[in-house]
Structure 1
Amino acid sequence: MSAQIAGLTAAPGARLRALGGDWLQRLCLLFLVVFVLVAAFAPWLAPQDPTFGDLGAGLVGPGAGHLLGTDQGGHDTFSALLEGSRTSLVGPLAVVLFSTATGIAVGLFSAWRGGWTDTVLGRLLDVLFAFPALLVAILAVAVFGKGMTAPVIAMSIAYMPYTARLVRGLALQEQARPYVAAYQVQGHSGLFIAVRRLLPNIGPTVLAQSTVNFGYALLDLAALSFLGLGVQPPTPDWGAMINQSQDAVLQGQPLSAIVPAVAVVLVVVAFNVVGENLGDRLAGRDS
């Protein structure tokens, strides 16, 4: 019986090894690897201090001293772009990690307990679904002040229901499989079965959903910074760069606004392509 159980629980690993990817997915994966490396080594890659502004060099076009020119405050756009990748990585990563961890816990508990527990948790998730993540983040800023901490916590709560609902549905499907009954017959506890055996089986699908969530979280946090409610100057941030460079666009130097906007779009699209492709392949649908 143990051999049969091992064979049943080995399926996710085999599915993951079978994952390939077309040229678009591989290109997006390469782009995301570069994005992470740039964010990790931004302080060493930036040619200038992005927080230092030379008013005498404001709105300078691309040149030898400034690869992408400067904004109206004289900040080097290329250096600010590299440094801004750090907040664009850390913020969404914190949202995804917290929302995924809590969503997995809530989803597994709801599916395993069932009955009135499942009903109550389901209604609570419905209430959370009614509030967009960006709106919840704005409310958090209104209560706790501007910055990154409050919006990240608020958006983590807003994103949690997506993972919780997914995990609950997958867990209910897995509970009907023979290996769960086999472990129950062997006397294993529900916690052991859910965490050590059931969770690894649904983990790849949850990973695909979390990848998509990362892109949306990045977009929401960039929008919050664009509104002036997220990352505050002088810390570089892509959303804040777009907001601060609106006047530069009108004065004929749009790069300081266009470049971070393009960076946001490319990263969000890359995460969505990778996440959707991963989800399709795990579900057995060729892309």
Structure 2
Amino acid sequence: MKMQNKSQQLFTSFVVKTATTLLPFIQHCLNGVSRNKAKSIMAGGGVRVDRAIVKQFDYELQPGMRVEISRHKPKNELSNKFVRIVYEDSQIIVIEKAIGILSMASMNHPYCVKTILDEYFRRTHQKCTAHVVHRLDRDTSGLLVYAKTQRAEQILENNWQNIVTDRRYVALVSGRMEEKAGVVRSWLKDNKAYFTYSSETDNGGKYAVTHFKTIKAADRYSLVDLKLETGRKNQIRVHMKDLNHPVCGDIKYGNGDDPIGRLALHAFRLNFFHPITGEPLRFETSYPKNFLSVFHSSADR
């Protein structure tokens, strides 16, 4: 109880009355504090929107949202180049993963997001470990939720399809997308070399459905919004290959197009019902800046 009271004292709560963005809202609430000071508060994890830490200064606010602001950087904040905490409570933790690290350990890569979180829990004297619920490829960035209790883990794993209401990715793909929107449906199956093959007819694999929407299209590249109806291994990467617009930087399923030096796939949205309270939770990150940078070149204007 003492910890809760201390947290309540650190944050001052405000309710959004009219639609706006986060930065001017903070400035107004703090009596005209400077933009740099407001951004510093956000960068330090001192702003929460509907209980989730938000650091995006142009984050859109709608009437009824609750914004909590602190002038102090929270103690014991996780500082790691691979992991940023977006939301945390006693049952779950939502993080944004950088490229270059696995969601959970493998034989060759013991250092992973789980080990980072477990160390953070030890350092902050939390009697829990991170339970893996879903994964992102090593070279895919974006939002992940981990359970902090076995109860939360079991509920998330057993009811994933019903609990998750929107799971969205953004991808930079090769070539100009011809269609503005559509759906890819196929069966996905691995061969002995762990290469995933796609078939329009049942090949004994797993049925996969990906919804796509073209955000921006140019001669050489396109930016695509991707929504998973199913969550299969390599689903997005294989389905974009099926459309003849592979994800840029994909060394396994791509065509060698690599304008930004990474797999251009980012999990930017994750909405789900809290496994214990049933509360609807919504998380979203900005598109990676380098996904957009290719459109500034003279060839793709």
Fold agreement, TM-score > 0.5: no
TM-score normalised by structure 2 residue count: 0.26
Structure with the higher strand share, 1 or 2: 2
TM-score normalised by structure 1 residue count: 0.27
Q: Give the greater-gyration-radius structure (CA).
A: 1
Larger relative CO (CA 8 A, sep 6+): 1 or 2? 1
